[in-house]
A and B are shown apart, each in its own frame.
Chain A
């Protein structure tokens, strides 16, 4: 059986761990990980020479400045651009470039978003802005790309998947009145990557537009 192809977009975790988990499961993994420059369609296309199909695209691109806590009143216009507008714009461009790759395989695109997207986060207004926009982009793509055979999902992860531990500490408590029911925050490589891979399998062909929360049960919205 031919190896399945995945494109992982974004540097650092959770992208690194998801890539490692997929490689361990024998996926042919390609990376697009230069987060520190502004992305255009050309940037993305030039970074993917020869890649004309993908079974899976995982988006987890949140540039380093977006992961630093800063109150809104302390942000400059350039800060806002780097942390909110540019990451949202880049995600839209990634989706545009991913469409032909996924249409070639009836593939799946998965957007990884931090809990702050749907729950808010003090000091993370720009990251939450970009991430909630990206989560809604996933739903919109599911609605528009279904007829091309492409499925789209978002997976919400605990803040520790995106932030330094010292920064993330306390954010879970701010959003939840209980400890993780499963006793731990999921391990990205060994517990989240298999879920991402499973979403591409024939067992999940009826599922699209899902917003899954994979955090061990800390946040149970809706």
Chain B
């Protein structure tokens, strides 16, 4: 039995002077990324659909000494995304990193022929349409100083999903987008990468509560034998992708899942 995993080192200074928008940052992986980026010195725009989660998330960052504001944002609405970008410019004078993390809940495990129309529409709207919105709204500002776009995909978008086939499709679609944008935007100095996490999120809480054997099975199939923490495990990887440490990386997907997916 190994000893407990030590905490990550401080991220202080890696993103000093930089500004990031994180969608879906009211909870889960999005909040973890936003908090890690704030710890690294970035000013963060918490772009979330619900003030009930978004405002407290921003407050927790401020209470920890970071800089954050909340902006109400439904990523399926282009005007909302434009407003989030404008808020970044108004409040902080710039935008260096756009992180698109928000996604509608995929729902319970079911086959593709059992998925209702509304779920299909919402999954596409929050994954592909919203990625388009975030990319197009952010790009004019990202290119002013070697900025980057980070998309949150999933191991399901790399290997497919037997439980959530629709989710596998829309998360895979985001990877097609990122590779094309890496080609289009590379000459402008803008990088585009993705993170495929497995971490504790509200959705994971629901799934493990509904299926008591899921957590043990998931850990058993993961070489590091644990499920990731949004801030300590996923956040630092987003900081890395937003920072000059990754300046020669674009078009890549980093699986941050404890080694569960080893297909690349």
Contact = CB atoms under 8 A, between A and B. Distances in A.
A140 interface: yes
A201 B184 CA distance: 41
A81 B179 CA distance: 19
Contact of B124 (A85, A116, A132): A85
A129 B160 contact: no
A128 B112 contact: no
A72 B176 contact: no
B135 A132 contact: no
B173 A122 contact: no
A176 interface: no
A71 B188 CA distance: 13
A117 B166 contact: no
A208 B111 CA distance: 17
**Residue in B120, B157, B161, B169 whose Cβ sees the most chain A Cβ within 10 Å:** B169
Contacts, number: 151
B251 A84 contact: no
Contact of A116 (B112, B120, B180): B180
B165 A73 contact: no
B128 A137 contact: no
Main secondary structure of the interface of A (DSSP, over half): helix
A141 B124 CA distance: 17
Given A92-B169, A122-B183, A137-B169, A77 B112 contact: no
A134 interface: yes
A56 interface: no
Interface in A128-149: 128-145
A136 B136 contact: no
Interface string B132-143: 100110010000
Interface string B149-167: 0000000111111101110
A195 interface: no
A103 B228 CA distance: 38
A53 B111 CA distance: 20
Contact of B78 (A77, A117, A133): A77
Nearest to A40: B117
A85 B128 contact: yes
Interface in A169-184: 174
A74 B173 CA distance: 20
Contacts of A120: 176, 178-183, 251
Given A92-B112, A123-B184, A131 B176 contact: yes
Nearest to A77: B78
Nearest to A121: B180
Contacts of B177: 84, 125-126, 128-129, 132
20 contacts: A75-B136, A77-B132, A99-B112, A120-B183, A120-B251, A121-B180, A122-B183, A123-B184, A129-B176, A131-B176, A132-B173, A134-B169, A136-B160, A136-B171, A138-B160, A139-B159, A140-B112, A140-B160, A143-B162, A144-B111
Interface of A: 71-73, 75, 77, 80-81, 84-85, 88-89, 91-92, 95-96, 99, 116-126, 128-145, 174, 209, 222
Q: Across chains A and B, which 5 residue pairs bring their CB atoms closest together, nearest first?
A: A136-B172, A132-B176, A139-B160, A120-B179, A133-B173
